[in-house]
Amino acid sequence: MKVLLIEDEKTLAYEIEAFLKKAFYICDLAHNARKGLEMLGMNPYDFILLDLGLPDLDGLKVLQEAKKLNPDAAYIILTARGNIEDRIIGLDLGADDYLPKPFSLLELQSRMQAISRRKFNLNTQEITLGEFAIDLQKRIVSHSQREVELTRKEFDLLSYLLLHKNRVLTRMQLSEHIWGSFADDDYDSNYIDVHIKNIRKKLSAYGPVEWLETVRGVGYKIRKH
Taken in order of first residue, the domains within the chain and their CATH numbers are: 2-120 (3.40.50.2300), 127-222 (1.10.10.10)
Query: Is pLDDT of 188 > 60?
Result: no
Which of 24-28, 65-69, 177-181 is the least confident region?
177-181
Question: What pLDDT score does 184 carry?
Answer: 47
Q: What is the pLDDT of residues 68-108, one digit of tens each?
A: 999 989 999 998 866 777 778 888 888 999 998 899 999 99
| pLDDT band (50, 70, 90) for residue 183 | very low
Question: What pLDDT score does 185 carry?
Answer: 44
pTM of the prediction? 0.77
Q: Which residues contact 18 (CB under 8 A, 6 or more apart)?
A: none
Nearest to 142 by CA among 151, 150, 130, 134: 134
DSSP strands (E only) in the chain: 2-6, 26-30, 47-51, 74-79, 97-100, 126-129, 132-135, 140-143, 146-148, 169-170, 212-215, 219-222
- CA–chain centroid gap for 55, Å, is 27
Q: What is the pLDDT of residues 105-126, one digit of tens each?
A: 999 999 998 898 888 777 667 8
